[in-house]
Amino acid sequence: MKAIPFILVIVLAFGCQSRHDVKQLDEFSEQQLASWNRKLTDVIVNDIFTPPVASRIYAYSNIAAYEAVRFQDPNLKSYGRILNGLNEGPTPDADKTYYFPLAEIVAFTTTARELVYNGPMVDELEAAYLEEIKMQSIGSDIFDRSVAFGRAVGQHVVKWAKADGYNERTSNMAYTVNDDPARWRPTPPDYAEGIEPHWNKLRPFLMDSASQFNPGPPTAFDTNPESDFYKETMDVYNAVINGDDEKLAIAKFWDCNPNISYTQGHVMYFHQQISPGGHWIHIACQVLEAEKLDEVQSALTMSKVALTIADAFISCWDEKYRSALVRPETYINRYIDKDWMPILQTPAFPEHTSGHSVASASASTILTNLFGEKYHFVDSTEVPYGLPTRSYESFLEAAEEAAISRHYGGIHYMPAITKGVSQGKNVGNMVIQKLENF
């Protein structure tokens, strides 16, 4: 992607300021959106949001950031009337001077604080940022005007978000478990209820509907050892039994289960970590920094990646609760080996399709479109969670590894992975097509 000459835009907007002041602001704002997405991840992990909910938070927050900073480049369009249900928002006064990177972050935080539980944590982060930027030789009138504009954009996006069906989904949201052996049921160790069974009721960002990219059903349930389903289950069983160190490392690296429970004695403890969508948001952040993109191109990239992942989760969850397929752990313990355990903790939702496969394929499709098929990067996303880095020669390679990791970990049959990858690519290609001239 070709970066806009950021410093020239600032000089035009701040004609009366010294070059020293402009450079100081430029340096302060460099790569700030990547930093703020990491801050948002800290809030999301702290609040223990599920993967679909986390994807929603990233999407709206990054769209708000883009809608505020896009005015830095007069050639960029609004997402208004392009994304489902979004009208064009506030516009800056033509005869006034703004610092749009400041408005960008205020729009981001204004949106995020309304979507998370720990709003005060976002408030504290924003307050610290505003105090820092005040020290960068920005005029008080420009500061106040930019904050007000960012706040207005954020409030516009929040109003749009509140109409997406998120709050309505909580009425009658419990998943009903029955005696059908083919249907999903809660799994060890905490036997939690199914997560977000009505997520397909949310308004998508660009998809026509939650079912637009129906991946097709899973293999027909069967307990006959000669059946395809039994053989697929044995593949999962053997993947765990015969797994080597490299496959174990891959499974652990892409675990991304936001809330793992474990028991010591009679006490259950919980360990929080990043979501699968959040992992790809962090990969995108690393790319922004490596490519040294300016704030306008950074916001455009992050908003595209985030809304794609959000639609991918809506698509995936639509199939999960339509097929409501039993997890390998339940089937294997009942029909093959009562003592078998997967490497990874089985998440609390049905099996088909694999959320990691759908989300990863969708994100890698967008990133490949933006940065090319052969893009070497070192993924350090999991370092804060005690894991080493991993290197990839392309986004697709990383996505394929993320997908197969669920088989290595013992929590997905292969059709959920292969069909999930196709499903995710379809979502990503749809976004590329609809935003072709954006």
pLDDT of residue 270: 52
The answer, as to whether pTM is greater than 0.85, is yes
Give yes or no for residue 427 having a pLDDT over 80. Answer: yes
**Mean pLDDT, the chain, integer:** 92
Range with the poorest average pLDDT among 115-129, 133-147, 414-428 = 133-147
Of 9, 14, 31, residue with least CA distance to 293: 31
Q: With 50 as the cut, is the pLDDT of residue 392 above it?
A: yes
Query: Is 226 a residue whose pLDDT tops 70?
Result: yes
- Give the model's confidence band at 292: pLDDT under 50 very low, under 70 low, under 90 confident, else very high: very high
Look at residues 423, 374, 432 and name the one whose alpha carbon lies nearest to residue 398. 374
Instruction: Parse the chain into domains and list their residue ranges.
Output: 6-161, 208-434
Task: Provide the pLDDT for residue 99.
Answer: 96
- CATH fold match for the domains 6-161 and 208-434: yes
Q: How much is the pLDDT for 172?
A: 62
Q: Whole-angstrom Cα distance, residue 305 to residue 281?
A: 7
Which pLDDT value is given to residue 27?
Answer: 84
pLDDT at 404: 98
Bridge pairing between strands 377-379 and 390-392: antiparallel
| pLDDT value at 119 more than 50 | yes
Query: pLDDT higher for 137 or 368?
Result: 368
In terms of phi and psi (left: phi > 0; alpha: psi -120 to 50; beta: otherwise), the region of 292 is left
Percent of the chain topping pLDDT 70? 91
Would you state the structure tokens that stand for residue 331, as one six-digit string?
Answer: 């089937």
Return the pLDDT at 137.
81
pLDDT top residue among 31 and 23: 31
Give SS3 for 415: helix
Question: Dihedral, CA atoms, 368, 373, 378, 379, nearest 10 degrees?
Answer: 30
Q: How confident is the model over 212-225, as a mean pLDDT?
A: 98
Kindly tell me if the per-residue pLDDT of 184 is higher than 60: yes
Question: Topology of 6-161 in CATH?
Answer: Vanadium-containing Chloroperoxidase; domain 2 (1.10.606)
* Mean pLDDT (whole number) for 160-177: 86
DSSP state of 79: S
Q: Tell me the CATH number of domain 208-434, given options 3.30.70.890, 3.40.640.10, 1.10.606.20, 3.40.50.2300.
A: 1.10.606.20
Distance spanning both ends of the chain, measured CA to CA: 14
Please tell me the distance from the alpha carbon of residue 149 to that of residue 289, in angstroms, as a whole number. Answer: 26
Does pLDDT of 262 surpass 60?
A: no
Average pLDDT over residues 292-310: 97
- Mean pLDDT calculated for residue range 115-138: 95
For the residues 111-129, what does the mean pLDDT come to? 98
C-alpha 12/C-alpha 304 separation (Å) is 28
Calpha distance 295→26 (Å, rounded): 10
For 269-282, how does the pLDDT look when each residue is reduced to its tens digit (9 = 90+)?
455 789 999 999 99
| 30 vs 302, more confident | 302
User: What average pLDDT does range 354-382 have in this prediction?
Assistant: 97
Within 10 angstroms of residue 305's Cβ, the number of other Cβ atoms is: 29
- Residue with the bigger pLDDT between 131 and 267: it is 131
Could you tell me which residue, 233 or 270, shows the higher pLDDT?
233
Quick one: pLDDT band at residue 174, thresholds 50, 70, 90?
confident
Q: Give residue 268's pLDDT.
A: 47
Position 18 scores a pLDDT of 46
Q: How far apart are CA 354 and CA 401, in angstroms?
A: 13
Cα 34 to Cα 55: distance, rounded to the nearest angstrom: 16
Is 438 or 409 the better-scoring residue by pLDDT? Answer: 409
